[in-house]
């Protein structure tokens, strides 16, 4: 198991973009394996947004998506319950993960974040007065329903929606949160319809 690194991925304070923080995090990752405990201790803030975003990113990988989605479910439950700081199980956050997963994700995730950062800005603060918990609840349902599904790419929709929610949370963008809510409801409707159709067979 890797030990905690003393490196910190945030090179600048305040206005540093999320994509840059994530890029430095990937670049500073231990050579062979990293743990989520290392990730948490190398984030600029021990916040729900950054941790949820990172978990959403690694949830895109089929091999470790189940563990990531379980941890995302725990975080979403804590958001719904009004926790001020995330609390994760020690056994899971100390589990070693191959660093090659981060290397493989970097050329796809960083450009996508950089594109989103061109349109993301603080706005629609009213969305954060109650909708955040609603989005978290619907995202939690999507993740819970996707976990037992043996379908290929079943991990993608909930991971992408959670990533949008995390970005909205980090950047205080109510428009992005509204979009995350829309896609969450759409995916939940599709999943429930598929389950209903299967039950009729």
In whole numbers, what is the pLDDT of the chain averaged over residues? Answer: 78
In a domain, 102, yes or no: yes
Is-above-0.85 flag for pTM?
A: no
Could you tell me the pLDDT band of residue 46, with boundaries at 50, 70 and 90?
low
pLDDT at 64 over 80: no
Domain range enclosing 73: 18-200
The closest alpha carbon to 106, from 189, 39, 27, belongs to: 27
Lookup: tokens for 192: 């429930």
pLDDT at 8 over 70: no
In a domain, 1, yes or no: no
Look at residue 171 in the predicted model and tell me its pLDDT.
85
| Total domains, the chain | 1
Q: Which of 41-45, 73-77, 91-95 has the weakest average pLDDT?
A: 41-45
């Amino acid at each position: 198991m890797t030990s905690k690194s003393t490196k910190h991925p945030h090179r600048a304070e305040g206005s540093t973009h999320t994509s840059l923080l994530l890029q430095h995090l990937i670049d500073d990752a231990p050579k062979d394996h990293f743990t989520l405990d290392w990730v948490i201790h190398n984030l600029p803030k021990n916040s729900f947004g950054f941790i949820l975003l990172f978990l959403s990113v690694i949830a895109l990988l089929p091999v470790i998506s189940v563990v990531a989605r379980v941890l995302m479910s725990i975080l979403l439950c804590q958001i719904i319950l009004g926790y001020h700081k995330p609390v994760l199980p020690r056994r899971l956050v100390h589990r070693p993960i191959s660093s090659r997963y981060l290397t493989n994700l970097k050329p796809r995730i960083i450009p996508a974040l950089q594109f989103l950062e061109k349109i993301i800005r603080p706005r629609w603060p009213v969305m954060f007065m109650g909708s955040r918990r609603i989005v978290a609840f619907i995202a939690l349902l999507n993740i819970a329903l996707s976990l037992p599904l043996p379908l290929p790419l079943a991990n993608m929709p909930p991971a992408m929606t959670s990533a949008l929610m995390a970005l909205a949370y980090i950047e205080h963008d109510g428009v992005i949160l509204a979009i995350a809510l829309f896609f969450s409801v759409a995916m939940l409707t599709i999943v429930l319809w598929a389950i209903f159709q299967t039950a009729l067979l």
